[in-house]
Amino acid sequence: MQPNEHLFPTDKIRGREAKEYLLKQKGIAVWMTGLSGSGKTTIAVALEKALAEKGILTQVLDGDNIRTGINSNLGFSATDRTENIRRIAEVARLFVHCGVVTICCFVSPTEKLRRTAKKIIGASDFVEVYIKTALAVCEERDVKGLYAKARKGEIKDFTGVDAVFETPLNPDLILVTRHLPVEESVDIILKKIFSK
């Protein structure tokens, strides 16, 4: 089966359509926003597994592979936070245009940051998922010990402690983790992205 020469010209860098045709899937970005410890990565892992079982290629972008890599020269000032999100969104856009389901797990605490990401990636390729977990729950989990450090003043401007998390104004999904097992959250996201 040869793709249509009109859709996939042979004298140009291969575009998104050709990649999606090859992969038999559509690229999209699932942007998960929420407090540290809210469950973004837990849901991302389960979402990736569910997608992999359908043979779908995914890429998770999170602090672990971004802050240690492309954004290793950025700190946590307001300017650097904006640049952090800008670069993440540009990387996500490249993956989406390569046909990959790209799952972004970042606190992204302000509406402005999330709007920046959405603008760069493109509204039609962007699913904003607000992982809603009470601060007290996140702080009690404190998997990485960050809340403890923030309370002691060892980390400054920590979202939820001494920096604000702005409730998303218009997310595509709100997942209230207290009421939803991870599997149900995943099902809801899957339904959303397959409807796109």
Report which of 163, 78, 85 is spatially closest to residue 120, judged by C-alpha positions.
85
Residue among 31, 38, 41, 33 at smallest CA distance from 135? 38
Q: Which helix (DSSP H) or strand (DSSP E) does residue 127 occupy?
A: strand 126-132
By CB under 8 A, residue 190 contacts a second copy: no
38 is catalytic: no
Please give the structure tokens belonging to residue 35: 């407090």
Q: Is 13 in the site for a second copy (CB under 8 A)?
A: yes
Applying CB under 8 A, which of residues 30, 43, 44, 186 lies at the interface with a second copy?
Answer: 44
Among 75, 80, 90, 148, binds a second copy (CB under 8 A): 90
Running DSSP on this structure, what letter comes out for residue 77? S
Active-site residue, selected from the candidate residues 36, 108, 124, 195: 108
DSSP states of 168-195 as a string? Answer: PSS-SEEEETTT--HHHHHHHHHHHHHH
| Residue 100 interacting with a second copy (CB under 8 A) | yes
As to burial, measured by CB atoms within 10 angstroms (0-12 exposed, 13-18 middle, 19+ buried), residue 88 is buried
- Smallest gap from Cβ 123 to a second copy, in A, equals 17
What character string, x for contact with a second copy (CB under 8 A) and - otherwise, covers 24-43? -----------------x--
Q: Which residues are catalytic?
A: 108
Residues at the site binding a second copy, with contacts judged by CB under 8 A: 8, 10-14, 18-19, 22-23, 41, 44-45, 48-49, 52, 55, 57-62, 64-65, 69-70, 73, 83, 87, 90-91, 93-95, 98-100
